[in-house]
């Protein structure tokens, strides 16, 4: 048992804001007060105590990140953890699997979601997830360009679509439904793309609008814990904020009493005004106003970080465009009937006017969108390393720090965005909401993101007094979030004074949605489609026994 005493707790989900109290952990869960005799005790007097952080969108496993590592061998020169008690951990932005778990824990994060898995390669993804220590994980299979999905959406056959989604989640041990440029990647196979949500996908007579709304309907009827998770069409292009807003408005046709029906990811990359790179600007205010007016849509930031990154996404049309713009090497991975990915090494430069606008747009979204509707993310590694989250949080909390950082950016940023005129500073309560409460709510993980009885025993103690700090003292804020006094995973201390002291193995969550569906109605279709695969249907996917520490969640 573990007793954390005298800490100043911020737990927004349970209405606890800066209250001095004790936390007890037993058998990996937070419990009511127990007899302290026999407990290991940590005195957190005057320190901030919060739940473990949650990254709901980070490309931490699978084919794309491995291809990225191969394309940037210089990454492996950056040593983060030497061998000894723990495994060797290397990587500057493209971290190795041990480094991913260690670095998340060292900044107070205990859960991360791999958000884009080609199902045919899912065994590779799970093998990597199993190699990541400490944190809990899950993966989201890709659906938005898969031939059965296009066909069922065109036919408006929601029953077959539901059965297919349930079948895929069981076969892949996946957690939810991910869409990337729905319809656009299939169009890429014919040398094109889709430019709006009402363009027709070649060969299927279906539009992105129909794909998105059909999958929302299927997910809601299946009552999956996580809503549809979408990377919108027209990523990265000037003027794309209009497509993003049209996509967000599709959620207005759906209601439930549980949560949002649509999560729009890395919105910074889909929030640009303008007609070309010469007049690109920020559409963040328009998007923020729309999101704040709706109760069933959430987003995450996709904040770029000045410096090295490696863009990788199942949006090969955009990656090819970026390859031409940046004149950088690239790799295209077309994946059987399912999706297609591109990987391009990239550097965000503060003196590049477009990069400066991108940096500002992410922060505008973080400041203007209600904290209950937006989560912190870099879309790792597309916007930059997840290890920059303390830096992002400090920018949101301190206008003084933002002003210092804005001096590094290209002057065009002042003209093209409204960042310099935003006075708002996020409070500790708000950033804890954006890094804990909101991600847990979006994912439907009821035992995460808070410190109530029954919650996971994932607790972080930061060296900052939430009752006595100044936003002007941004150095103290940044140092505190970069170096937790303690990170506790399921009741075990894994980080102390910013250094790794213990190693545990987290869980891999997956959703079983088969209770209200039958595979029989899609068996003939599966038999037909697997004529075109390089594997037989019986060899497709993974078994639960192959996962290191699986947790099955029943839909509904």
Strand partners, 171: none
Strand partners, 271: none
Determine which helix (DSSP H) or strand (DSSP E) holds 340, and give its type and residue range.
strand 339-348
pLDDT at 137 over 70: yes
At residue 536, the pLDDT reads 93
Domain boundary among 410, 443, 476: 443
Domain boundary among 459, 480, 500: 500
Beta strand 89-90 with 499-500: parallel, antiparallel or unpaired? unpaired
Question: What whole-number distance in Å separates Cα of residue 421 and Cα of residue 251?
Answer: 31
- Helix H segments across 156-195? 158-172, 184-188
At residue 431, the pLDDT reads 98
532 lies in some domain: no
Question: What whole-number distance in Å separates Cα of residue 325 and Cα of residue 358?
Answer: 15
Q: The CATH number of the domain where 335 resides is what?
A: 3.20.20.140
Question: What whole-number distance in Å separates Cα of residue 15 and Cα of residue 12?
Answer: 5
542 lies in some domain: no
Strand partners, 493: 488
| Phi, psi (deg, nearest 5) at residue 389 | -60, -40
* CB distance 392 to 468 below 8 Å: no
Question: What whole-number distance in Å separates Cα of residue 41 and Cα of residue 27?
Answer: 15
At residue 156, the pLDDT reads 97
CA atoms lying within 13 Å on the CB side of residue 364:
28
Question: What whole-number distance in Å separates Cα of residue 354 and Cα of residue 277?
Answer: 7
Question: What whole-number distance in Å separates Cα of residue 252 and Cα of residue 213?
Answer: 10
Instruction: Tell whether 433 and 382 lie within a shared domain.
Output: yes
pLDDT at 257 over 80: no
Instruction: Tell whether 336 and 480 lie within a shared domain.
Output: no
Instruction: Tell whether 182 and 201 lie within a shared domain.
Output: yes
pLDDT level of residue 35 (50, 70, 90 thresholds): confident
> Using alpha carbons only, how large is the chain's radius of gyration in Å?
22
* CB distance 310 to 343 below 8 Å: yes
Domain boundary among 443, 460, 484: 443
State the residue range of the domain holding 33. Answer: 2-51+451-500
353 lies in some domain: yes
Q: How many helices (H) and strands (E) does the chain have?
A: 18, 26
Sign of the torsion angle spanned by Cα atoms 507, 513, 518, 519: negative
**CA dist 188 → 67, 145, 318 (Å):** 20, 10, 10
pLDDT level of residue 255 (50, 70, 90 thresholds): confident
| Phi, psi (deg, nearest 5) at residue 386 | -65, -20
**CA dist 320 → 162, 190, 353 (Å):** 33, 14, 21
518 lies in some domain: no
Structure tokens at 443: 């994912």
299-327, pLDDT tens digit by residue? 999 999 999 999 999 998 999 999 999 99
Instruction: Tell whether 124 and 236 lie within a shared domain.
Output: yes
Q: Closest Cα partner for 312 from 143, 114, 508?
A: 114
In the three-class reduction of DSSP (H, G, I as helix; E, B as strand; rest coil), residue 61 is classed as coil
Instruction: Tell whether 155 and 66 lie within a shared domain.
Output: yes
- Tally of domains in the chain: 2
Instruction: Tell whether 298 and 392 lie within a shared domain.
Output: yes
Instruction: Tell whether 147 and 281 lie within a shared domain.
Output: yes
Q: What is the largest CA-CA distance in the chain?
A: 69
180-235, pLDDT tens digit by residue? 999 999 999 888 999 999 999 999 999 999 999 999 999 999 999 999 999 999 99
436-454, pLDDT tens digit by residue? 999 999 999 999 999 999 9
pLDDT at 134 over 70: yes
Question: What whole-number distance in Å separates Cα of residue 533 and Cα of residue 528?
Answer: 10
261-298, pLDDT tens digit by residue? 999 999 999 999 999 999 999 999 999 999 999 999 99
Q: Does the pTM of the predicted model rise above 0.95? A: yes
| Phi, psi (deg, nearest 5) at residue 54 | -130, 125
In the three-class reduction of DSSP (H, G, I as helix; E, B as strand; rest coil), residue 107 is classed as coil
* CB distance 165 to 143 below 8 Å: yes
Q: Where are the beta strands (DSSP E) in 270-338?
A: 272-273, 281-282, 297-300, 307-313, 331-335
- How many residues make up the chain in this entry? 556
Q: Closest Cα partner for 211 from 164, 265, 174?
A: 164
Q: Closest Cα partner for 429 from 387, 396, 388?
A: 396
Question: What whole-number distance in Å separates Cα of residue 25 and Cα of residue 39?
Answer: 9
Instruction: Tell whether 327 and 457 lie within a shared domain.
Output: no
513 lies in some domain: no
Question: What whole-number distance in Å separates Cα of residue 97 and Cα of residue 60?
Answer: 8
380-431, pLDDT tens digit by residue? 999 999 999 999 999 999 999 999 999 999 999 999 999 999 999 999 999 9
| Phi, psi (deg, nearest 5) at residue 219 | -65, -40
Structure tokens at 262: 């649509």
Give every CB contact of residue 237 below 8 A, 6+ residues apart in sequence: 272, 318, 321
Instruction: Tell whether 471 and 457 lie within a shared domain.
Output: yes
Averaged pLDDT of the chain: 95
Structure tokens at 98: 């041990």
Question: What whole-number distance in Å separates Cα of residue 381 and Cα of residue 112?
Answer: 13
512 lies in some domain: no
Give every CB contact of residue 364 below 8 A, 6+ residues apart in sequence: 282, 284, 285, 288, 417, 418, 419, 422
DSSP string, 108-160: TEEEEEEEEE-GGGHHHHHHHHHHS-SSEEEEEEB-TT-HHHHHHHHHT-HHH
540 lies in some domain: no
Q: The CATH number of the domain where 489 resides is what?
A: 2.30.40.10
Instruction: Tell whether 47 and 59 lie within a shared domain.
Output: no
Instruction: Tell whether 185 and 36 lie within a shared domain.
Output: no
Q: Closest Cα partner for 480 from 393, 377, 371, 367?
A: 393
Instruction: Tell whether 470 and 325 lie within a shared domain.
Output: no
Strand partners, 340: 334
Strand partners, 346: 309
546 lies in some domain: no
Instruction: Average the pLDDT over 22-51 and give the result.
Output: 93
Can you tell me which residue has the tokens 């209200």? 516
């Amino acid at each position: 048992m573990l007793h954390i005493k005298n800490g100043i707790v911020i737990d927004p989900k349970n209405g606890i804001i800066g209250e001095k109290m004790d936390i007890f952990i037993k058998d990996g869960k937070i419990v009511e007060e127990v007899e302290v005799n026999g407990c290991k005790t940590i005195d957190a007097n005057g320190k901030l105590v919060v739940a473990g952080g949650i990254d709901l969108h980070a490309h931490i496993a699978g084919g794309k990140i491995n291809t990225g590592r191969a394309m940037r061998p210089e990454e492996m020169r950056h040593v983060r953890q030497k061998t000894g008690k723990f495994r060797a951990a290397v990587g500057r932005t493209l971290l190795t699997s041990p480094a991913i778990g260690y670095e998340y824990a060292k900044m107070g994060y205990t859960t991360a979601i791999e958000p884009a898995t080609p199902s045919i390669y899912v065994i590779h993804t799970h093998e990597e997830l199993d190699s990541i220590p400490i944190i809990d994980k899950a993966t989201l299979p890709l659906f938005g360009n898969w031939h059965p999905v296009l066909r069922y959406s065109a036919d408006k056959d929601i029953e077959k679509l539901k059965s297919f989604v349930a079948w895929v989640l069981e076969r892949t041990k996946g957690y939810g439904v991910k869409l990337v440029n729905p319809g656009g990647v299939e169009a890429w196979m014919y040398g094109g793309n889709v430019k709006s949500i009402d363009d027709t996908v070649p060969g299927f007579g279906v539009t992105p609008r129909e794909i998105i709304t059909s999958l929302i309907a299927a997910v809601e009827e299946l009552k999956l814990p996580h809503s549809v998770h979408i990377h919108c069409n027209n990523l990265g292009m000037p003027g794309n904020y209009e497509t993003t807003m049209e996509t967000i408005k599709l959620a207005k046709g759906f209601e439930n009493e549980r949560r949002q029906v649509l999560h729009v990811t890395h919105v910074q990359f889909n929030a640009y005004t303008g007609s070309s790179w010469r007049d690109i600007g920020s559409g963040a205010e328009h998007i923020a106003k729309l999101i704040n007016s709706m109760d069933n849509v959430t987003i995450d930031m996709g904040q770029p970080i000045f410096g090295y990154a490696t863009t990788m996404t199942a949006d090969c049309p955009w990656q090819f465009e970026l390859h031409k713009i940046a004149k950088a090497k690239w790799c295209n991975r077309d994946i059987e009937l399912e999706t297609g990915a591109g990987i391009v090494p990239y550097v965000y430069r503060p003196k590049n006017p477009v990069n400066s606008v991108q940096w500002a747009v992410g922060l505008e979204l973080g400041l203007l969108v209600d904290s209950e509707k937006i989560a912190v993310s870099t879309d790792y590694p597309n916007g930059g390393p997840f290890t920059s989250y303390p830096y992002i949080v400090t920018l949101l909390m301190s206008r003084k720090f933002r002003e210092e950082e804005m001096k590094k950016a290209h002057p065009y940023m002042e003209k093209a965005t409204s960042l310099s005129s935003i006075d708002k500073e996020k409070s500790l309560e708000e950033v804890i909401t954006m890094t804990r409460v909101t991600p847990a709510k979006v994912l439907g993980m009821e035992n995460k993101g808070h410190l109530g009885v029954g919650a996971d025993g994932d607790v972080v103690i930061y060296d900052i007094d939430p009752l006595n700090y100044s936003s002007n003292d941004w150095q103290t804020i940044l140092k505190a979030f970069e170096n937790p006094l303690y990170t506790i995973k399921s009741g075990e201390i894994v980080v102390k004074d910013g250094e790794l002291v213990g190693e545990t193995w987290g869980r891999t969550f997956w959703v079983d949605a088969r209770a209200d569906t039958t595979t029989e109605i899609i068996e003939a279709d599966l038999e037909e489609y697997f004529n075109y695969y390089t594997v037989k249907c019986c060899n497709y996917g993974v078994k639960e026994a192959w996962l290191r520490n699986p947790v099955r969640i029943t839909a509904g």
